[in-house]
């Protein structure tokens, strides 16, 4: 496979790939290109200040008490002044919906564990836990089996 970048400020941006057949790589590449909108970070808030958090540093985005919160690699919570569906639109393909009020970064998932209630919890590398809805878990399992 060959890779070639041509940087020319005078031309419109265009991405073209010649592949022998559609496969998982082609699907991921297509999703990455079509979902990318130039953003790679999210403005988050603490009590005192504003911080720019890169998508790669976000483990999970969740809604707690009606407010959007981002959880980083250290398990710290930050307020996000956007609705969950707005955040979901700008996140890259490495993020997946795990329940009605949470989106997880697949790259930061350590494991899935069975909960006492019969459900499934996701455990992130920072130690933060969240539940996975049955519907979302079925989709995640389907995706994992196809790899």
Reported as a single tens digit per residue, the pLDDT across 39-65 is: 688 999 988 889 999 999 999 999 999
| 6 located within any domain | no
Q: Residue 23: pLDDT band by 50, 70, 90 thresholds?
A: confident
The domain total for the chain is 1
Reported as a single tens digit per residue, the pLDDT across 90-107 is: 898 889 999 999 999 999
| 142 located within any domain | yes
* CATH code of 131's domain: 2.40.50.1020
| 61 located within any domain | yes
pTM: 0.71
Structure confidence at residue 37 (pLDDT): 58
| 71 located within any domain | yes
| 26 located within any domain | no
Task: Using the predicted structure, report yes or no on whether residue 147 has a pLDDT greater than 80.
Answer: no
The 3 state secondary structure assigned to the chain is: CCCCCCCCCCCCCCCCCCCCCCCHHHHHHHHHHHHCCCCCEEEEECCCCEEEEEHHHEEEEEEECCEEEEEECCCCEEECCCCHHHHHHHCCCCEEEEECCEEEEHHHEEEEEECCCCCEEEEECCCCEEEECHHHHHHHHHHHHHC
Q: Which domain holds residue 100?
A: 38-146
| 102 located within any domain | yes
């Amino acid at each position: 496979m060959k890779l070639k970048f041509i940087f020319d400020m005078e031309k419109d941006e265009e991405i073209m790939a010649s592949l022998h057949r559609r496969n998982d790589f082609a699907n991921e590449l297509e999703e990455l290109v079509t979902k990318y909108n130039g953003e790679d970070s999210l403005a988050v808030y603490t009590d005192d200040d504003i911080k720019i958090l890169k998508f790669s540093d976000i483990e999970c985005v969740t809604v707690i008490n009606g407010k959007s919160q981002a959880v980083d690699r250290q398990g710290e919570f930050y307020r996000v002044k956007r609705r969950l569906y707005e955040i979901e639109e700008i996140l890259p393909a490495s993020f997946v919906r795990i329940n009605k009020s949470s989106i997880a970064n697949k790259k930061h998932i350590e494991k899935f564990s069975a909960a006492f209630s019969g459900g499934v919890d996701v455990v992130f590398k920072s130690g933060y836990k969240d539940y996975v809805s049955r519907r979302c878990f079925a989709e995640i399992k389907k995706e994992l089996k196809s790899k």
